[in-house]
Amino acid sequence: MEAMVTNPAQAVQKAAPPAPIDLPELPRYHRRMTWSCFLLSFLAVLPGPGPAPSTPAPLDVFEKLPEKLEGYRRVPASERFDHETLYQHIDGHAELYLSFGFRELLVLRYDRDGEAPIEVEIYDMGRSQDAFGVFAHGMERAEREVGQDSQYLSGMLTFWKDRFVVTVTAYPETEPRRRAVYALARTIAGLIKKDGALPGVVRRLPREGLAAESVRYFRHPVWLNSAYQISDGNPLALGPDTDAALARYKTGDNRHLLVLVEYPDERRAAAAEQSARKEILGDQPGPVRRPDGRYAALCRKKNRLALVFYAPDEKTARAALERAAEREAR
């Protein structure tokens, strides 16, 4: 779903368009990041796990996974981690899940003599939108082999479906273990009876020229800045009650980034627009040529903000905003 120039442009400069260059790579899955108290304050306002429910927990259905599969036997003992204990299992990466409203994690293992176990992690994120957000954060290529979207990388298969993110890991990788990973993943997906909705802001991304593997959904500036470093602060006023999406686009040799943000009301959107114009565009009417030679622009419609970054010229920046506006009108 990645660091760039942070200083706003001082003026629009008339110059020949820069040569096409590659956009920065988005972060790999589970890449370590430096966390600030800014992120911790965001996590503090998220709801905790709440009291234990009287009905079966959503993860209970996965306790029905088969005892034997592809020559592997399920280890009887499973583990569960909640909002307070997640750090014990994925120390250094828990912030990603917590920032998307994580509920509970179930960890299972399948064993075979003489081999390292295959580990299964099933994350209950509470909402399908948040499950997609976690999955997309580490997406490097878009596949649909399992669940609603999936990705297989060197022994680790990750997919999302409805409110769940699932990772099945078999290191070291061999062809028999790869088959077992896919068999396990498809069995788990079969226990999830319905698909979940994508975030509305993601559905509103224009389709023309979209690089599907680049889509990111987030509510915190840490995840935006991990893809495109806007500033050290939060000029877009992102927070728990905002929805944002980012994607890369390519049309011919022209490439750019598009960010869409939805706010709870027009007042918040207008304030964010004013802040963004000052900190990102240098109080200039866009499109603005930034110090890196690329162009940025923004526009607002009611409670929604659209921003273009890294465009090669003013024409591309304006056209990207027009496509975003057309998509909004549908």
Nearest to 242 by CA among 263, 259, 266: 263
60: left (phi over 0), alpha (psi -120 to 50) or beta: alpha
Distance between CA atoms of residues 281 and 179, nearest Å: 51
Q: Which CATH architecture has domain 41-191?
A: 3-Layer(aba) Sandwich (3.40)
Positions of the chain with pLDDT under 50 = 1-21, 26-45, 47-54
Residue 237 in tokens: 């006023």
In the prediction, which pLDDT does 97 show?
Answer: 95
In the prediction, which pLDDT does 225 show?
Answer: 85
In the prediction, which pLDDT does 253 show?
Answer: 79
Encode 289-318 in three state secondary structure. ECCCCCEEEEEEECCEEEEEEEECCHHHHH
CATH code, 199-329: 3.40.1000
Provide the residue ranges of all domains of the chain, joining segments of one domain with +. Answer: 41-191, 199-329
* Beta carbons within 8 Å of 174's beta carbon, 6+ residues apart: none
- With 0.85 as the threshold, say if the pTM is over it: no
CB 68 within 8 A of CB 182: no
